[in-house]
Amino acid sequence: MLASWGRWVYRFRWWVVIISVLSLVPAAWLASEGGHLVSVISPVNSESERALDLIKKELPPAFPSFGLIFRSPNLAATEPAFKAEVERAVAALRADPRVEAVRTAYHGGVVKPGDISLDGHSTIVKVEIRDHSASETTLAMKIYPALRAEVHSNRLEVAAFGDLPSSFDLTVLAEKGARQAEMRVLPLIGLLLLLVFGSVPGAVLPLAAGLLAVTSGLAAMFLLARVTPVLAFAKNVLMMVGLGVAIDYSLFILSRFRRQVRSGSVQEALASTMATTGRAVLFSGTAVAVGMLGMLFLGLSHVGSMGLAGAFVVMLSVVYAMTLTAGLLAVLGPRVDSLRLPFLNGGETGRHSRFWRRLAILVMAHPWKVLLSATLCLILLGAPLRHIQLGSEAASGLPKTAESRRGMELVSSQFRKVDTNPFLVVIAYPKSYSPLSVDHIERIYTVSRWLAKLPGVNEVKSIVDLDPSISRKLYVQMYAPPTPPLPAGVQRIIKEMVGRNIVMLVAQTSLSEAGPRALSLVRTIRESHPPVGGELLVTGASAFHLDFIEAVKKNSPRVVGFIVLATYFMLLVLLRSVVLPLKAVLMNILSLSASYGALVWIFQDGHLASLLGFTPGPIGAMTPIIMFCVLFGLSMDYEMLLLSRVREEYLCVRDNTRAVALGLEHTGRTITGAAAIMAVVLFAFGFADLTAVKEMGVGMGIAVVVDATIVRCLLVPAAMRLLGAWNWWAPAFLTRREKRRCRRGIGEGADSRVAGLNPPQRRGDAESAEEKFG
């Protein structure tokens, strides 16, 4: 079928090229329009999300807010000049109709000690936004930056902090990182393609297909963002994966076509290329897309949509490889090798071919030594994985130059008693029970006093914490029916903290949101609280971080199982073997463990921190599983190209050792070139501003290098040499059709020589293999 597709593309080559290029116009327009990407990840159906839904449903909405720190190295925050400059700087905010309130340390004429820094040179200002119905994206990306732009001072340093500034910085820096990486890698990719092919058309074709696929993929992502929220990191992941696989797929097809067109017509060369390498590309792209779709099973809002967008860009890469690249090859024909650079040899002969031939001979002659050495190397690389620590990145994931990180660091170091991380404790009761019954009030009082004694809790705010002098008995008298007339202030607190079926308590802390003390405090409250007569739920920033980590740990086995089984099935269909897909899965896992070990060694242990510019710490909880989703399919690019070529050779020579050696010899150069390009794309993101993007770029770059060198060039051929005929064992219903096709001389994966169109050349290949391996 794919051979017929190749002939069809040749027949309508100009139409195929024109339509492919014209598709860039709407794609470029949609990509330039952009879309609303979010930076907050919420675990689906988690305790923190359920508690937040109850608060939104039963309590009045709170005003969104952010903080500002004003600092002077010379003036004290209590000096009149300092105070006057603060008031002048926030005057525009006070007059802005979008602002509900601006609260300073000087409100009411009395300086609040808690809002003055420990060194006395800084103060905090809280800004509340009136529009509490706006979405998180609108607040962080439109309202907050507009309000922040109104605050400036010539005498004081100003730094914002809080969720809105952090979300703004994350989104902006994610987009900036994608643009910078693109500018870095495109010249390097062009140079590498010239080195691989040695001709200008050979370098331009894969690059054109890559840019077209990425542009169309971004357009699809922004279209998806109009329907469902998409994570801000999606743009970086799409750039990493989309550009790499699109160039790789076009490179694979171009490499095979160049060999085929030397011994036949352009039409048959394209047909044979589509039937062989095109088939491998189709299966490979499907495997990568399946891996990306595995993110849907993580149970994290917005991450699933990122996986869906990733699957789109991968399949678009396959489409453009099978249309634009194939169409241009049909137009150019042998001229694809024109405009050659005289000092570069992009052919399949010469020292490059001799190197892969010698490597094949070495691996076939000493399979046990190669297998054990390669396996030991991977185990050593993966050793640091034993002490991996997973965390949830907060401000530390931002670069030190980001304003929101500087603001949070100032709060942590200079305002240790400022309540920057509130824990919202919700007690939910059955619908038929009043939250303010006598029994419930007594239990709420007990819980409040228990919370206040926990390490890290500065203060508890609730309906039973109005005044330290009020006793438990008096609170019962105040709230239990029939309720006596209460002061306006008390009625306001009841309205803010008591719903139809819930009561909320706020445990104020200054702990780091994603720090171990904060996460431990969430666990303690959830697991060790006194009896409440209902269900106690905890939400807030730290609770979301903990639920996020737990969701990743809980759902990762399901994601891994889905990807592994789906990939095994695709390899089974492609290779018509039961053993080879199992071997591929096992070696993929070994390769991934090596890359995870390197990730821990670099980012957790802190090696290369000064070079890459990050703060060492726990690995982001999302990084390993996203790497798995991307890399498990991505590694199959090289696996499928190698094994499909080995299978192609085996169908004709029926000798496992010869087939493995010839497959390695014919694909080694292509796999190395493709891996070098993919690694350049991925490593470019290692210099992004966000630590999460650095982790994914460096980690996946290392995985690609390990996979294309140690695994595909050494470990896989050695294992196949030792397995012998067992490589090709399969049930009869799988192999029956395969043998029939081979006898017809068409053969899945066979090129013109295999098909018998050039028997002397095929016989020469077989004789050459026999001379090498006896």
Residue pLDDT, tens place only, 612-655: 888 888 888 888 888 898 888 887 778 878 888 888 888 777 78
pLDDT (tens digit per residue) in 456-483: 898 899 999 998 888 998 988 888 777 7
DSSP H or E segment with residue 619:
strand 619-620
Tell which residue, 96, 174, 59, has the closest CA to residue 501. Answer: 59
Query: Which pTM was predicted?
Result: 0.78
Tell which residue, 539, 549, 554, 552, has the closest CA to residue 515. Answer: 549
The confidence score (pLDDT) of residue 2 equals 84
User: Is the pLDDT confidence value at 737 over 60?
Assistant: no
Mean pLDDT over 20-30 rounds to 84
User: Is the pLDDT confidence value at 760 over 50?
Assistant: no
Compute the mean pLDDT over every residue in the chain, rounded to the nearest whole number. 83
pLDDT (tens digit per residue) in 525-558: 999 999 998 999 999 888 988 988 888 888 889 9
- Taking the C-alpha atoms of residue 19 and residue 24, their distance in angstroms, rounded to an integer, is 9
Contacts of 354 (CB under 8 A, 6+ apart): none
pLDDT (tens digit per residue) in 360-372: 888 888 889 999 9
Packed helices 622-653 and 279-293: angle between N→C axes, nearest 10 degrees: 160
User: Is the pLDDT confidence value at 753 over 60?
Assistant: no
**Gyration radius (Cα) of the chain, Å:** 31
Tokens 């390490």, located at residue:
455
The encoded tokens of residue 449 equal: 């006093």
Mean pLDDT over 275-289 rounds to 88
The confidence score (pLDDT) of residue 735 equals 62
User: Is the pLDDT confidence value at 35 over 70?
Assistant: no
Cα end-to-end span (Å), the chain: 37
* Between residues 442 and 413, the one the model is more confident about: 442
* Positive or negative torsion for Cα 275, 281, 285, 287: positive
Tell which residue, 729, 376, 438, has the closest CA to residue 578. Answer: 729
The confidence score (pLDDT) of residue 211 equals 86
Backbone angles phi, psi at 102, to 5 degrees: -125, 115
**3-state helix vs strand vs coil in the chain, percent to 5:** 70, 10, 25
State what percent of residues in the chain have pLDDT above 90.
Answer: 24
Contacts of 168 (CB under 8 A, 6+ apart): 140, 141, 144, 145, 404
Looking at 91-203, which runs of residues are DSSP E strands? 99-103, 122-129, 157-161
The confidence score (pLDDT) of residue 94 equals 92
The confidence score (pLDDT) of residue 733 equals 67
User: Is the pLDDT confidence value at 301 over 80?
Assistant: no
* Positive or negative torsion for Cα 529, 535, 539, 543: positive
Torsion of CA 530, 531, 536, 539, to 10 degrees: -10
